[in-house]
Amino acid sequence: MSEKTLNLGIVAHADAGKTTLTEQILYFSGSIRKMGSVDEGTASTDTLPIERSRGISVKSGSVSVSWNDVTLNFIDAPGHSDFLSEVERSLSVLDAAVLVVSCVEGVQPQARMLIEAVVKMQLPCFLFLNKCDRAGSRSREVLKELQDLFGIPCLLFSEVESEGSDSLSEQPVELLGERLEDAVMACGEERLLEQYLNSPEKAKQELSTALSRAVGKAKLVPTVCGSSKLGIGVSPLLQAISSFLPQRVSKEKELCARVYQVEHDPAMGRGAYVRLFAGTLSSRDAVLMPDGTEEKVTVIRKIAGRRQEDAPRVETNEIALVYGLSTVRAGDLLGKPCSGLREYRLCEPLMISKVETDQEGLEKALGELCAEDPSLAFQWNREKREAWVHLTGRIQAEVLQSVLKERWGIEASLSKPSVIYRETPQKSAEGFEAYLAPKPCWAVVRLLLEPLPRGSGVEYESGVSPGRLAYRYQTHIKRAFFDALKEGLSGWEITDLKATLIDGESHHVHTHPLDFFVATPMAVMNGMQQAGSKLLEPILRLEITAPKEYLGKVISLVTGHRGRFETPLMREKEFELEALVPAAESFDFPVELAAASAGNGMCSSRFSHYEDCPPGMGCARERITPDPLDRARFILWARSALSDGESA
């Protein structure tokens, strides 16, 4: 085993050059003899046919290299905004991120989002300023903007000569003179600064250790300029990572592992890419799954270069591909939680679409894809044999159709997507259900539902003593309550409410163990009916850039889409405008912006929040499961499902 093992994610806005950088890392480390190409569809981490044909990354790719006796595991995450769920899961298993930013296009919207994520997660980060060989490269200007966004020093470890030219060459930065002072200041340690003022030479000797501490605490961003296309800056980047990123230390012995990706192997079945935060994992080990059950590992494969090799075990800080866990899903935490775990929400699917086909096997195929990407939130209407999926964009929809055809031979079409609305109670109300027939059954539930401020989510508590209602039945009510929130009076998920269990009753003879799974959804919907349901709509934050002469037309376009905007930022020849626009109004906005700005306007968007939908706007959605307000039908459906071993 190497001196230390580090796990890094290469992240960027689309087309910034991160997959090409991954390819160069493999080449420079000796893991491959010939460079692959994104444009030619031969990149090592782009393995899916659609990735090779379209030249974009859809799934994260994992490679492992050795540099200066340090094992560096790299996860090449997708750059397109439609696949942020992959990026989200990758960030949760990293020791550090490597953010690739184009010095030509500058700090693009997804790069800003990624910086916001690593700052809030306190995740160490390295910067690779790419495309310095291209005309229009402006590394100094871009670096200044990045430093403002990070709010901490971005210290240069390698510059370039002849910026904007293909005769680019590396220029390592010697941390001497003024550079030494900059480095000492960047570490942010008073003791080191005092030492520098009294004895610069002694401070220089301790600088490496101080830099490592600062990087590990996310107080300093090592920065390298270069060109992934030409391989310039790759060696200094690897040197900075192996020298200044400390290995995570865990004293906990029990297994704690995060699944950051799931894939399907025709021979082996479902495989899970895991990063171990604590403990060890060996072949034939029983693993504690998120639902409390245990499953046995059958095969472990470690990643060497771009290949996979069978291994008997995997240890703390390593990543591996594990087979045998038949119910595992991307994002799962295996074993017991340990200290130091990080999470950040980037992906918020805002569209829902129906998947239609007359071929068999759709339910099974979408179930497998949902294990690989839980953000799809696949729902299956058994009565109508219809499937619904959540989407983040139109490219994701195209990829879904392509994968269904390639892996299962299913020709499917997707309906025109609808915005995903949500529901919330208009006022406080009680929901009540006495499920006493047909016997044997006995479950009484009374809930108080109260609206909460926007963005609060859902709160649940019990005010009932175990003497009145046994703990096991109260646990059933809580589980069934959260399941019941998936479809409200208008068919959308219910949010921004607090529920309090204020009464409940069971019978020592007639109560069946699962009666409260039947009664609770009826009590919830009864309460929502009494409270009244209000629709909430998703709002996007748009960042619009266009020449100054089109400002009036762009403002008219924004207000015409029910948008509101902040004071524009005026530059020499263009303006930048931030606006909040309902997602339902945003589908054709980029096309209309191009028309309003003679093709010179640019727009990016990200989810902002949910807010009250204006009266008369929004729409109801067809329910997937029977309506609990249709009491007789719902009870029949629930009892039938329960008899098959399913929860209501």
Task: Give the CATH number, domain containing residue 597.
Answer: 3.30.70.240
Residue with tokens 């495989």: 271
Are 519 and 486 members of one domain?
A: yes
* Least confident piece of the model among 135-139, 175-179, 343-347: 175-179
Are 288 and 389 members of one domain?
A: no
* Token pair of 136 as six digits: 């229009």
Are 11 and 126 members of one domain?
A: yes
How many domains in the chain? 5
- Asked if pLDDT for residue 128 goes beyond 80, the answer is yes
Q: Tell me whether residue 618 is in a domain.
A: no
φ, ψ of residue 450 in degrees (nearest 5): -130, 135
Q: Can you tell me whether residue 588 is helix, strand or coil?
A: coil
* Residue 93 identity (one-letter amino acid): V
Confidence class of residue 45 from pLDDT cuts 50, 70 and 90?
low
- Asked if pLDDT for residue 647 goes beyond 60, the answer is no
Q: Which of 265, 263, 302 is nearest to 280 (CA)?
A: 302
Per-residue confidence (pLDDT) for residue 642, from 0 to 100 = 41
Are 549 and 573 members of one domain?
A: yes
Q: Tell me whether residue 46 is in a domain.
A: yes
Residues 6+ apart with CB under 8 A from 599: none
Give the E-state strand segments of 146-298 in sequence order: 154-161, 169-172, 221-225, 256-265, 269-278, 281-282, 286-288, 294-296
Higher pLDDT pick, 257 / 623 = 257
Would you give the DSSP letter of residue 370? H
- Asked if pLDDT for residue 1 goes beyond 90, the answer is no
- Per residue in 565-575, pLDDT (tens digit) is 989 999 888 89
**Is residue 611 a contact partner of residue 600, using CB atoms and an 8 Å limit?**
no
- Per residue in 475-514, pLDDT (tens digit) is 999 999 999 999 999 999 999 999 999 999 999 999 998 9
- Asked if pLDDT for residue 43 goes beyond 70, the answer is no
Q: Tell me whether residue 343 is in a domain.
A: no
End position of a domain, from candidates 392, 420, 448: 420
Q: Tell me whether residue 301 is in a domain.
A: yes
Percentage of the chain surpassing pLDDT 70?
95
Name all contacts of 176-185 with Cβ < 8 Å and 24+ positions apart: 176/204, 180/204, 180/207, 182/153, 182/155, 183/155, 183/207, 183/211, 184/210, 185/153
pLDDT averaged over the chain?
A: 90
Q: Which of 97, 105, 193 is nearest to 145 (CA)?
A: 105
Residue with tokens 């939908």: 613
- Per residue in 618-644, pLDDT (tens digit) is 899 988 889 999 999 999 888 875 444
Per-residue confidence (pLDDT) for residue 2, from 0 to 100 = 55
Residue with tokens 């997707």: 414
What mean pLDDT do residues 177-184 have? 80
What mean pLDDT do residues 85-107 have? 94
Confidence class of residue 582 from pLDDT cuts 50, 70 and 90?
very high
End position of a domain, from candidates 289, 306, 335: 335
- Asked if pLDDT for residue 648 goes beyond 50, the answer is no
- Per residue in 379-399, pLDDT (tens digit) is 988 778 889 999 988 889 989
Measured CA to CA in angstroms, residue 3 lies from 62, 68, 70 at distances of: 21, 9, 6
Domain containing residue 73: CATH number: 3.40.50.300
Residue with tokens 């600064």: 193
Are 165 and 209 members of one domain?
A: yes
Cis preceding-peptide flag for 438 (omega within 30 of 0): yes
- Per residue in 266-283, pLDDT (tens digit) is 889 999 999 999 999 999
* Residue 250 identity (one-letter amino acid): S
Are 513 and 553 members of one domain?
A: no
Q: Can you tell me whether residue 423 is helix, strand or coil?
A: strand
- Asked if pLDDT for residue 108 goes beyond 90, the answer is no
Higher pLDDT pick, 384 / 365 = 365
**Is residue 522 a contact partner of residue 529, using CB atoms and an 8 Å limit?**
no
- Asked if pLDDT for residue 447 goes beyond 50, the answer is yes
- Per residue in 395-425, pLDDT (tens digit) is 899 899 999 999 999 999 999 889 999 999 9
Q: Which of 517, 574, 566 is nearest to 546 (CA)?
A: 574
Q: Tell me whether residue 344 is in a domain.
A: no
Are 125 and 83 members of one domain?
A: yes
Per-residue confidence (pLDDT) for residue 433, from 0 to 100 = 97
What mean pLDDT do residues 79-94 have? 89
Are 268 and 297 members of one domain?
A: yes
Are 304 and 179 members of one domain?
A: no
* Global confidence as pTM: 0.86
Longest dimension (CA), the chain: 87
Are 382 and 460 members of one domain?
A: no
Q: 8-31 in b/e burial notation, b at 16+ Cβ within 10 A?
A: bbbbbbebbbbbbbbbbbbbbbeb
Domain containing residue 273: CATH number: 2.40.30.10
- Per residue in 300-353, pLDDT (tens digit) is 999 987 789 999 999 999 999 999 999 999 999 999 999 989 988 888 899 999
Domain containing residue 415: CATH number: 3.30.70.870
Question: Residue 579 belongs to what H/E stretch?
Answer: strand 574-582
φ, ψ of residue 468 in degrees (nearest 5): -80, -40
Are 365 and 507 members of one domain?
A: no
Residue 479 is part of which domain span? 423-531+623-643
Q: Can you tell me whether residue 6 is helix, strand or coil?
A: strand
End position of a domain, from candidates 365, 391, 420: 420
